[in-house]
Structure formats: structure tokens, C-alpha cells
Amino acid sequence: MSRWKPDAAGRLAKAAIELFAEQGYEATTVAEIAERAGLTKRTFFRYYADKREVLFGGAQELENCWLAGMDAAPEDADPMAVVAAGFGPISDLFADRHPFARLRAGIVAENPDLQERELIKLHRLTGVLQHALAKRGVSDHAAALAAQAGVAVFHVAFGRWTRREAPTSLGALMDDSLDELRSVVTATATATT
């Protein structure tokens, strides 16, 4: 999820994602990534623990960004509004990463190990959001559900975003998905009461 910037980390990420897309994730070595970026293996390992890290290094950034958005929510905001307060900052974070995210999604989709890693990262993210809500005084049960709903909205919206050929606003897609979740969940209330 790195930017396409001409810095070393960005060049390595760009080289890695291109090679993964061209010849497959498994077949690509760190040496090839470094060579394509015009850098050394040593430089690669200064930025990334391994080639998988190129694909998942952005998880921490996403987490920090989401938490910062939540921190900025009014103290009396209800749990889901607190979670949704991260959507704008996340949209900004990914604004110039659509080409990378699209390639990355294709690579992850083809590799079961990477898919498992993605699930684990999303689960970790859910736990972090839940903890942040609990610290604001939200009950454990509501915090767990709001965090899971927030990550489900992010996951579904992010999938839609990466499937679009032209870049669009991730934030708008997250808002749409939250609206749809609300409509899906409340339809039952009308039907059963």
C-alpha cells in the first residue's frame, strides 16, 4: 500500500508489485525486486522484512489512520459514528494508491497464503478498533459489533474500489456500504416486528 513515490521504499514496492503481477508472487525473489528498482538487497531489507511485507506493510498505516480518525470523533458520538469517523482519513490515505491496490488485490486473490494473511490483518484491525471503542466507554458487546461492522464495511467497499478500473472515492464507497448495511440490517426489524 505504499505510494508510487520515487523514494527507495516506494520504488521497491512498485518493482515488487510489477514483478508479482508479471511472473507471480511465489516466483519472485527479493534479489529481482531490488534489481528492478535499481537498488541492493540490503536496501530492500532496510525497508521490508520480506517480500510479503511489501503487500502488508500498509496494514499498520491503515490502523493508525483509522484510530486517529476515531480519536477526532466527538466524545458523545455513538459507537458506529466513531468507527465511521475513520472513513474520511482512510479515503485520503488511499487517494493516490489505486493502481497499487488494484494490482495488489489481484496478487492476493491468487495466493491462498496471502489471503490468510489478509484475514489475520483484518481480524487484528477489528480487535484494535474494538479496544479503542471500549476505551471510550462503549460496552464490550456493542464495541465488538461496531468494530466488526466497520471492518466489514471497509472490506466490502475496498473490494469494490479495487475492482473499479478508474479510481473513485474510497470514502464514498465506504459511506455507501454503511448505508447498505444499515438498510440490510433494519429491513429485518420491519419484517419481524
Among 84, 93, 101, 132, which residue sits at the site for a second copy (rule: CB under 8 A)? Answer: 84
Among 70, 80, 93, 170, which residue sits at the site for a second copy (rule: CB under 8 A)? Answer: 80
Least Å distance, CB 59 to a second copy, is 15
Among 88, 152, 167, 169, which residue sits at the site for a second copy (rule: CB under 8 A)? Answer: 152
| Site for a second copy contains 8 (CB under 8 A) | no
Among 49, 72, 95, 119, which residue sits at the site for a second copy (rule: CB under 8 A)? Answer: 119
| Site for a second copy contains 170 (CB under 8 A) | no
Ranges of H-type helices in the chain: 8-23, 30-37, 41-47, 51-56, 58-71, 79-84, 87-94, 98-109, 112-135, 140-163, 170-192
Least Å distance, CB 65 to a second copy, is 20
Count the neighbouring beta carbons within 10 Å of the beta carbon of residue 42: 8
The one-letter code for the residue type at 128 is: V
Calculate helix-pair angle for 87-94, 170-192, nearest 10 degrees: 140
Least Å distance, CB 26 to a second copy, is 19
Classified as helix, coil or strand, 140 is helix
| Site for a second copy contains 22 (CB under 8 A) | no
Which cell numbers in the block locate residue 16? 515488487
For a second copy, give the closer residue by CB, 27 or 187.
Answer: 187
- Distant-in-sequence, close-in-space partners of 77: CB < 8 Å, separation ≥ 6: 85
For a second copy, give the closer residue by CB, 27 or 81.
Answer: 81
